Amino acid sequence: MPTAIYPGTFDPVTNGHLDIIQRSTSIFDTVVVAVAEESGKDTLFTLDERLEILKEVTSSFKGVYVESFSGLLVEFVRKKGANAIVRGLRAVSDFEYEMQMALMNKKLGEGIETVFFFTSTEYSFLSSSIVKQVAALGGCVKGLVPPNVEERLKAKYNIKK
């Protein structure tokens, strides 16, 4: 039963992330959404909030589990008995960084493969950073994130409904 790890910060999770998670379940029996405890990024949502949100929005996905991890991704992959890392590619600009990471993970984790999913067209422009910028300025993020994330963004930025 192949298991994959889909790592990220998920700050916040977007509909693009959910698309990748859902599509990866068609290839892997188990997908562990691995939320990075430390990412070098300043996060809007705490680790506990990101875990809670992801568990809420993936609760109906068969074979999907949400956990946090710290340290080297390949060590977490080994710990979970997985054989693949799932990553999404939106644009050419993602490719160079993702290729470097995939090659380093391959060097560090023999037998661990990285599987890339091209984003669905409707999410090709979408990133957590863009969502946060739009939300911070009071813009509409409906359809870009799940409804519970939209509400949490409004609360974080103190935006009246």
- The catalytic residues are 17, 41, 90, 128
* Cis status, amide bond into 12, omega within 30 of 0: yes
DSSP structural state of residue 145: B
Residue 135 phi, psi (nearest 5): -65, -40
Give the pairing of strands 113-118 and 30-36.
unpaired
Mapped onto helix, strand or coil, the DSSP state of residue 138 is: coil
Q: Residue 91 and residue 132: Cα distance in Å, rounded?
A: 19
CA torsion through residues 150, 128, 7, 62, sign: positive
